[in-house]
Amino acid sequence: MGLPTHRLLRFSFCRRFLSENRGTLFQNMGCHFSFEVLAPNGLLGIEKALADSQLGLYIYHSHFNDKNILKSSSDVIELGMDTSTTDVMRGSGTLWCDFETAISLMKKLSQVFASAHYNHKIGIDNEAGDDTVWITHNF
């Protein structure tokens, strides 16, 4: 007894789709990232390096506790970052690009943090979520 015809057609379509799109299935999926940065007084002194990085990120002054955080105006970097009541500030989001480009962008962000001598770590997951690269600076 074989599979019903509609299941065979569905299986055939999926098999053909997978073989034709091998290597590009995750192309439109984003890479998740997160970071922690030791910045007790908020992100100060990174304005020039941030502008030079051309990441599309900008400083936002939070009136909650007068700390500077990062926000995004980029189509590639989706970032959420809350002001922190501790010395460690955290952010996370999605990079709408391939994994290699995501790593390159987060290396630029690491350089921005390092320019003000902030200890930090940044983790980037690949599109499938099964590989993580860490970028650290004295963390």
**pLDDT tens string 5-55:** 444 444 444 444 444 544 444 455 899 999 999 999 999 999 999 999 999
Beta bridge partners of 33: 93, 124
Query: Residue 11, class by beta-carbon neighbours within 10 Å (0-12 exposed, 13-18 middle, 19+ buried)?
Result: exposed
The domains of the chain, with CATH numbers, are 26-137 (3.30.70)
Q: Is the pTM of this model over 0.85?
A: no
pLDDT, tens digit, for every residue of 81-91?
989 999 999 99
- Residue for token digits 């439109």? 28
Residue 92 has pLDDT above 90, yes or no: yes
